[in-house]
Structure formats: C-alpha cells, structure tokens
Amino acid sequence: MNFQLNHLPLSARPERPLAPSLEQVRLRLVLGLMFLDIITIVVGYGFTGLLYYGDPLSEYAARSAMLMGPVFLVVGVQSGLYRPQINTSFPRAARKCISTIAIAFVGLLFIMFYAKASDNFSRVVFTFGSAFSLLLMLLSRSVVISLVKRFVGPSLTNTMVIHDDGPSIDMKHAFCIDAAQHGLSPDATDPLNLDRVGRYLQNMDRVIICCRPEERNRWAALLRSAGVQGEFVSESLRKLGAFEMKRERGFSTIVVSTRPLGIRARATKRMLDVCLSSIALLLLSPLIIIVAALIKLEDGGAILFRQQRMGRGNRFFWIYKFRSMREAHSDAHGLRSASRDDDRTTRIGKIIRRTSIDELPQLFNVWRGDMSLVGPRPHALGSQAGEKLFWEIDGRYWNRHVLKPGLTGLAQVRGFRGATDQERDLTDRLQADLEYISNWSLWLDLKIIVKTFGVLVHDNAF
C-alpha cells in the first residue's frame, strides 16, 4: 500500500509526525521475544521432566533449562534471530529458530562432553526438552508475528519516498510524496524549508530520494543534517548492478559484484558435499564397478568420458561421466546434444542415461571440489539452443558460474532436462539457476537432493 499525500496543501507544514515512531515498538518486540523464548525453554524442559520423571521441577529438567536459556539467547543475538525484519515473516523466523536451537544444542553437547559433565544431565530430558521448546517457540512466533501484522503493519520501519524530478518508483508500504507539491527542496540556506522537511522526515527510518543527479549533493547534505538513513535512486548504478559504496582514504568505490555466499555458508556447503559424496561413493561402489565392467565388455572402449566444462569463476575443469556413446562418435566439444533414439548411444549407454547412472562418476568431481552436489549444471562449451550458443541467448548466462556446478540442481528437479531445441529450454534453466543462487540455503540443498530421487528416471533423460 502506498500512502499518497498529494491532498495536503502546497505550503502545508505537518504539525504532527506523518507516522508514529517505531523504535519503541521494535525494542519492545525484541525484549518480548527474548522473554518469550526463555519462558518456552523453561516450559519445554519442565514438560519433559513431568513426562519422564513426573516432576516438572526435577533436577535434570531445571539444570538443562538453566543452561539452554542463556546459551540460546547468546546464539540468537549473534545469529540475528531478534532482528525486526526477521520477525515479520514466519518462514524466516522459523528457520532462524531451528538453526539457533540446533547450534545451542550441539554446542552444549560439546561443552558437556569436554567438561565430563554429561553424567549430571539426562540425555532424554535434554533432547526432548529442546524439541518441545522449539515447538513452543514456533507457536509463539506465529502468534507474535500475526499480532505485529495486525496492530503495527507489514513492516517495522517507516519509509518515505520523495519524488523530485527524478526516476519514478513505486514502493509498497512507503509514504510517497511529491517534493514540488509539498514545497520541499534541498535548499539548506532557508531555515523554514529545513524545518518543513524535518517535520516530514520525523520518525522516518529510511528516506529514498528520486532526483536529478545534479541535485544529489544538496539532498545528501540535507539528509545528513536530518540524521536519517538517506538513499538515492540511480538508474546508472542499477544498470551497473551496484550493491553498495565503500569509502577509502581519498576515494570511494562502488561495489558491483560480491561473493554470493559468505565463508561460513561455503564451509557448510563444502562439508555437506564431502560427507554425502563420500557416503554415496561407498554405498554405490558395487554399482559403479558393475557398470564399468559392462561398458568395457560391450565394445572394449574407455569406461569414462571426459570433457572440459566451465566451472566456478568461469574456470575450466574436467567433468567425468560413464561413457554412453560409441567412442568414435564422442563429442568432446558438445556441439551436438544427445537426442531421443540417438544413433551414437550404446546399448548400455541407453540404460545408464535413462536412469542418470552415467552421472555417477561426477561424485569424484564433487569429492575433489570441482563440483558441488547441488548447483547449476555445467554445460558443454559448444551447447546451443535454437541454433545459438547459450551465452548468446541471455547476457546473464555467465552469472550462473558464481557457484560450483552441481551434480543436480533446481532446474533439474523442476523438469528442465534433455535437449535444448528452443531458446526457452535454456532460459527456463537459467532462471532456475539464478533463483537458486539468490536463495541458497542448506535447507534448499537438502530439499533438492531429496527431490532428485524422484527425477532420476525422466522422459527427457536420453
């Protein structure tokens, strides 16, 4: 919803703020959530003590709650659990609650183990108490978020957009005003103008100015003096894809690219890759040996097919597959995509391509670090869609290489597989890849891995 203030007279000077301050609301929300979390932890462990020992105040339940409470709060504060923007969306809040209590739970287990204090705690009470606490926490979050949306609104920040002969934007949940209609200008030499602008900006947490480039210096000076977070809309920076500005001694820079994942996220993803690929290689080793033997017995050729693909950072790597085509017809550059009833495919090749078994050697690519279990699939360099090379179809194509290529991906579980006869076959996959990169999480990787088992055999796999 946009709050249009065009009905105010040109010379109007608001006697009262356009919106109430939300600072106190945010503070009360944070303190209230902390208090609720402590209560849910106490009740969760107390309920477990009642079920297991018949006493909600049993020694084990009380001791576990006294440890979990402060540790949970510390982890929650550090992880951003109590940030207002997190607690306006239940899915975001739920994910944070789950990850916070998991970190606190594992951390306390390590502490108890190394302190040799595990005998002083009941494993049953500690485990089920944590689970019950989490359930109560999610329930309380749901209620609080519903109340916040009902009585405060969809946002816990006041945002104002001032249009002053610049790019026009339409922003939800913002106060949008026209500077000319309300007599607002960046003139810092007129105290009456400063007072007028100051009254409009009162209680605003964020102010966005849409003005001409030559007016930015004056608006910037005024916003700094008003003590609010001020921002400019810039079409030129949008075209550059700018993220933020950094200030160095003597100069400033515009950040136009950054790593999609932080070091902690990359470490988590790599740990998942190493653990699951190692387990998969161990469990599937009999199948890998059998398939290798069948390929060798069929025509005596090479077992593996090796091809250069582009990986993370636009760097080449060698990808491995079980050879599914006759060796004399193998396409090292990928100029011709595989098609249904392809005459180059061997008998064993038809089976392993149909069941995706030909991709199993890429587990070694994952284990080595060339690939990830989940990510954008690596394409052959000569791959085409609609008689165009992939990167000629959409300029964003190279953006998919910011992460390691994957053994499976969001595009694959959505059914975007097989030949790329039309340009849309590529753009659908690209859109899914970019969506995955933007929304990466450990839970998304696990979800895609589970869904992959349902698409191993696919009509477009040939």
275-280: list long-range contacts, CB under 8 Å, 24+ apart.
276/373, 276/449, 277/363, 277/366, 277/367, 277/373, 278/367, 280/363
DSSP 8-state code for residue 377? P
Task: Using alpha carbons, list the distances in angstroms from residue 300 to 19, 110, 346, 357, 361.
Answer: 78, 54, 12, 19, 19
The H-or-E segment that residue 208 falls in is strand 206-211
Residue 251 CA, distance from chain mean position: 32
Q: What phi and psi, each to the nearest 5 degrees, are found at residue 173?
A: 60, 35
What contacts 380, CB < 8 A, 6 or more positions away? 307, 309, 331, 333, 334, 335
Question: The pTM is what?
Answer: 0.57
Closest CA to 153 of 291, 19, 303, 9: 19
Return d(Cα 402, Cα 397) in angstroms, integer: 11
- Conformation bin of residue 205: beta by default, left when phi > 0, alpha when psi is -120 to 50: alpha
* Structural Rg of the chain based on CA atoms: 29
Q: Residues 6 or more apart from 14 whose CB is under 8 A from it?
A: 8, 199, 200, 202
pLDDT for 407 equals 94
Domain residue spans of the chain: 2-9+158-255, 23-151, 263-452
- Distance CA(39)–CA(65), nearest Å, equals 10
First-last CA distance in the chain: 50
For residues 328 and 346, the answer to whether their CB atoms sit within 8 Å is no
C-alpha 196/C-alpha 226 separation (Å) is 11
Domain 2-9+158-255 has what CATH class? alpha beta
Q: What angle, 0 to 180 degrees and rounded to 10, lies between the N-to-C axes of helices 90-114 and 123-151?
A: 150
Partners of 223 in the beta sheet? none
The amino acid occupying position 439 is N
Q: Which of 445, 460, 380, 374 is nearest to 415 (CA)?
A: 460
Among candidates 154, 196, 190, which has minimal Cα distance to 177? 196
Q: pLDDT tens, position by position, for the chain (462 residues)?
A: 444 444 444 445 556 677 777 888 888 999 999 999 999 999 999 998 888 878 878 788 888 888 889 999 999 998 889 988 888 889 999 999 999 999 998 888 888 777 666 666 777 888 898 899 999 999 999 999 999 988 888 888 888 999 998 888 878 788 899 988 888 888 877 778 888 888 888 888 888 888 888 988 888 888 877 778 888 888 777 777 666 777 767 766 667 667 788 878 888 899 999 999 999 999 999 999 999 999 989 888 889 999 989 888 878 899 999 998 887 656 555 555 555 566 678 888 888 888 889 999 999 999 999 999 999 999 888 888 888 888 888 888 888 888 899 999 999 999 888 777 888 888 899 999 999 998 999 899 999 999 999 888 756 554
How many CA within 13 A on the CB side of residue 430?
17
| Distance, CA of 59 to chain centre | 41
What are the CA-CA distances from residue 53 to residues 60, 67, 124 (Å)? 9, 19, 11
Contacts of 37 (CB under 8 A, 6+ apart): 69, 72, 73, 76, 137, 140
* DSSP line for 66-99: HHHHHHHHHHHHHHTTT-TTGGG-HHHHHHHHHH
